[in-house]
Amino acid sequence: MSAKSRISTRHSVVEGWGGYLPPNVVTNDQLAKRVDTSDEWIVARTGIRQRHIAGENERTSDLAVEAAKKALAQAGAKAEDVGLIVVATTTPDNTFPATATQVQAKLGNTTGFAFDVQAVCSGFVYALAVADNFIKTGQVDSALVIGAETFTRLLDWQDRTTCVLFGDGAGAVLLKAADGPPDRAARGVLSTHLHSDGRFKDALFVTGGPGSNKEVGVVRMNGQEVFRHAVQKLAEVVEEALSTHGLTGKDIDWLVPHQANQRIIDGMARKLGLPGERVVSTVAHHANTSAASIPLALAAAASDGRIKQGQLVLIEGIGGGLTWGASVIRW
């Protein structure tokens, strides 16, 4: 349902951002030595040229901490003052405890509370919505919203239809409370819009789980079905987000989409009437990092000066579940 703000007297503002990519880069050509694929096929179908893969001893919480530290430093904030830490991840360090609690410990925060959100590639939009609502209700004054994945650990390296698509990484934003309801003209998260439809589980899922076969499992995807849903559902949720504020695509300074496939990204930009110069695309270098992809792209574009304070940013994503969502943020 639409999360248009109704009675809130507070809103949340993005005060810091950061991204982290593990140093190990694997190019398409390197992958093609292990799998029956080619750089040409991967680039033509997806736009992906390389991906970062976490080291053996690097866990999702380690990637998350690096991104979170940058977001805190960027905002001039201290980890111990953060009220809430939400980690969106599909690849937790352990089945339990929540990876967010390990991030909390590694950051040295003992007064806030921390938990994970699981919505696969839509995870960051879901986590942002959760944190934004905690801030709006006055339960916390600040929140670290992190998307972090060691997604390549879920891959079947014999399955060329999935293993070429994904990478590892983490991105984070620090939200802080500000007075007044969300206002189209003021900085902050204007609204978040979430959807899911569990009937489409089989389009994209992992073959294992503690409650089914006690295994971690591997990713299985019907790429064409996910593609069809992505084009339709992302267009709908973006329209919902924009119309909530009386906006059109032309009002948006930056589209920062989930980075799954350049063809989906280009399709959304065309629908919104946005030229490529106003779309942040990292898919060529990061591949699909699931919940990390949007905050990594936000951090890249805000750090290199493309996204400027006061500009309107539209984020959107779709993932396993199916889940999908969007948010409009005045940066």
Catalytic center residues? 121, 258, 288
Choose, by CB under 6 A, the member of 12, 46, 118, 150 that binds ligand ACO: 46
Q: Is the peptide bond before 322 cis (omega within 30 degrees of 0)?
A: yes
Q: Which is nearer to ligand ACO, 21 or 175 (CB)?
A: 21
Near ligand ACO in 251-280, by CB under 6 A: 260-261, 264
Choose, by CB under 6 A, the member of 121, 140, 173, 301 that binds ligand ACO: 121
Binding to ligand ACO by residue 161, rule CB under 6 A?
A: yes
Min separation Cβ 77 and ligand ACO, Å: 31
Q: Which is nearer to ligand ACO, 129 or 177 (CB)?
A: 129
41-49, 107-115, 208-216, 269-277 -> range binding ligand ACO (CB under 6 A): 41-49
Min separation Cβ 164 and ligand ACO, Å: 4
Near ligand ACO in 191-250, by CB under 6 A: 204, 223-224, 226-227, 230
Min separation Cβ 232 and ligand ACO, Å: 12
55-63, 74-82, 137-145, 160-168 -> range binding ligand ACO (CB under 6 A): 160-168
Q: Which is nearer to ligand ACO, 182 or 320 (CB)?
A: 320
12-20, 34-42, 96-104, 170-178 -> range binding ligand ACO (CB under 6 A): 34-42
49/195 Cα distance (integer angstroms) = 31
Near ligand ACO in 49-108, by CB under 6 A: none
Convert residues 128-157 into a mask of x (bound to ligand ACO by CB under 6 A) and - (unbound): ------------------------------
162/281 Cα distance (integer angstroms) = 20
Convert residues 296-325 into a mask of x (bound to ligand ACO by CB under 6 A) and - (unbound): ----------------------xxx-----
Min separation Cβ 154 and ligand ACO, Å: 8
What string of H, E and C letters represents the secondary structure of the chain? CECCCCCCCEEEEEEEEEEECCCCEEEHHHHHCCCCCCHHHHHHHHCCCEEECCCCCCCHHHHHHHHHHHHHHHHCCCHHHCCEEEEECCCCCCCCCCHHHHHHHHHCCCCCEEEEECCHHHHHHHHHHHHHHHHHCCCCCEEEEEEEECHHHHCCCCCHHHHCCECCEEEEEEEEEEECCCCCCCCEEEEEEEEECHHHHHHEEECCECCCCCECCCEEECHHHHHHHHHHHHHHHHHHHHHHCCCCHHHCCEEEECCCCHHHHHHHHHHHCCCHHHECCCHHHHCECHHHHHHHHHHHHHHCCCCCCCCEEEEEEEECCCEEEEEEEEC
Q: Is the peptide bond before 97 cis (omega within 30 degrees of 0)?
A: yes
Where on the chain is the footprint of ligand ACO (CB under 6 A)? 37, 41-42, 45-46, 120-121, 160-161, 164, 204, 223-224, 226-227, 230, 260-261, 264, 288, 290, 318-320
